[in-house]
Amino acid sequence: MDFPKLSWTKRVEFLEFLRRVKRNLNDEAQNKSCLLYVVLPFEDPYRIFERDSAYTQSLREVADVLILRLHVFDDPMDGPHGPMLPLYPANKSKRLSMDSVVTYMTKKAKIPPEELIVEMGYYGRLYGPDSTLSPLRPLLPLAELMNTVETVRKVDTAALTFYKTVDDTLKYYYEDTTSINIKYRWLNERGLGVVGLYGLGYAHGMDDIRMQEGLWELLAIHFTEPPPRLFFPAIGFLLIFVGSGIILSVILSWQVRYALRERMRSFWFYFSFLLVLILTAWLCIMPLTKVPVLYKIIAIVILLIFPLGRKAIKMAMKARGKV
């Protein structure tokens, strides 16, 4: 649902409309369900979300996903142009920016950052000589810009988007891996951590493999978890298997119990070895975010030298006595 020009007098009717839509689409009798996505306006001239906190709370309850679309901005008088709003306003002006809009939604409207999805644009835009958006080609595939427009790219420092100028008349604005990387990092710093992609198909078919693969690589770097490392968990489960075998041998075999009872020193040695084994297994199974690799390696080394360490100390004591 995308109604960017919502007025103050229509806000309650709009909320009721959303409730009716979701109620009608969620029909358990017919085994139907829906997810309701609501696009928030990047401009709120009536300050609806700030002045009516109850309305904002109700909207959060009825909407499954709140999308903050910051890539459609056409104001030739107030600029800058490009697929996205500028990350920060130039020269501390009061013009709209990604940072100011997100600040308004999280601080003034009190919407938790983790509930906001910032939508990024994966396309280019063409502007004519009069600095207005071309009506014939509003959205351009990145492949067309990267593969066919033969000119040196320049950076719009305010909007943090790249553009190419043809004959000083046409300007092609588009996102690049450099500009997107900056904005992805900014999203994580603001605690949003979620991104939406608009016009995903416009990024396919580029001859520049670094650009084509870079778009997906940046998503993986900023918004996905690294692949699990199975080396240490495998060692941990192996140690658990060994420890379980030791415990079962004591429980099921009377010969083992008799030997431990006759040799109390051996009993305490093997009992402490079992504790070190269990601790090492637990450290290996724990994720890297909680237990660094260095601690896992130290635990494994201590476990390996534990049986040999006792013998080494005993031999050292004997050698010292002979001296």
Tell me the per-residue pLDDT of 217-271, one tens digit each, with 9 for 90 and over: 888 888 877 666 778 888 888 888 888 887 888 788 877 777 767 766 666 777 7
pLDDT above 70 for 91:
no
What is the reported pLDDT for 41?
81
Contact 120, 197 (CB under 8 A): yes
Pairing status of strand 170-174 against strand 124-127: antiparallel
What is the reported pLDDT for 80?
46
Contact 67, 40 (CB under 8 A): yes
pLDDT above 80 for 69:
yes
**Long-range contacts formed by 16-24: CB under 8 A, 24+ apart:** 18/59, 18/62, 18/63, 19/62, 22/62
What is the reported pLDDT for 133?
58
pLDDT above 50 for 78:
no
> What radius of gyration, in Å, describes the C-alpha atoms of the chain?
31
Most confident of 3-12, 81-90, 156-165: 3-12
pLDDT above 50 for 210:
yes
Please give the biggest Cα pair distance in the chain. Answer: 99
**Long-range contacts formed by 40-47: CB under 8 A, 24+ apart:** 40/66, 40/67, 40/68, 40/69, 40/105, 40/116, 41/3, 41/4, 41/5, 41/6, 42/4, 42/68, 42/69, 42/70, 42/73, 42/85, 42/96, 42/101, 43/4, 43/96, 44/104, 46/7, 46/8, 47/108
Q: What is the pTM of this model?
A: 0.62
Contact 60, 72 (CB under 8 A): no
- Secondary structure of the chain as H, E, C letters: CECCCCCCCCHHHHHHHHHHHHHHHCECCCCECCCCEEEECCCCCCCHHHHCHHHHHHHHHHCCEEEEECCCCCCCCCCCCCCCCCCCCHHHCCCCCHHHHHHHHHHHCCCCHHHEEEEEECCEEEECCCCCECCCCCCECHHHHHHHCCCCCEEECCCCEEEEEECCCEEEEECCHHHHHHHHHHHHHCCCCCEEEECHHHHCCCCCHHHHHHHHHHHHHHHCCCCCCCHHHHHHHHHHHHHHHHHHHHHHCHHHHHHHHHCHHHHHHHHHHHHHHHHHHHHHHCCCCCCCHHHHHHHHHHHHHHHHHHHHHHHHHHHHHHC
State the amino acid at position 293 in one-letter form.
Answer: V
